[in-house]
Amino acid sequence: MKRSPLRFLGFTLLVGSAACAPYMNVGVTASESIVSGCEKVGDVAASPSTAPNEVNAALSDAARAKGANYVLVASDGARTGTAYRCSMPKTASR
């Protein structure tokens, strides 16, 4: 069976884009105004065994897995939050 170079290229692009997804920045905030115009994706939580200094990273990872780019928490240090997908602000054209 002969393999097409285009098929290989498509596979390479798919794997490459999936590899970049873990590097999407996810913000953690206690300010509702930041996520007011965003799409609610779902709830996220850090494990009770997560070290206090790693909670925001765990929440970010959970939100990233849902395709979100913000986590709204009740207060700093909270182990649970709500993930939101916010679009990037449009830049003004000159």
Name 42's bridge partners: 83
DSSP 1-64: -PPPHHHHHHHHHHHHHHHHGGG---EEES-GGGGTTSEEEEEEE--TTS-GGGHHHHHHHHHH
Name 44's bridge partners: 81
Which fold, 24-85? Dodecin subunit-like (3.30.1660)
pLDDT per residue as tens, the chain (94 positions): 555 554 444 444 444 444 444 567 899 999 999 999 999 999 999 999 999 999 999 999 999 999 999 999 999 889 999 999 998 654 555 5
- CA max distance for the chain: 58
* 3-state secondary structure at position 90: coil
pLDDT of 94: 52
pLDDT of 17: 42
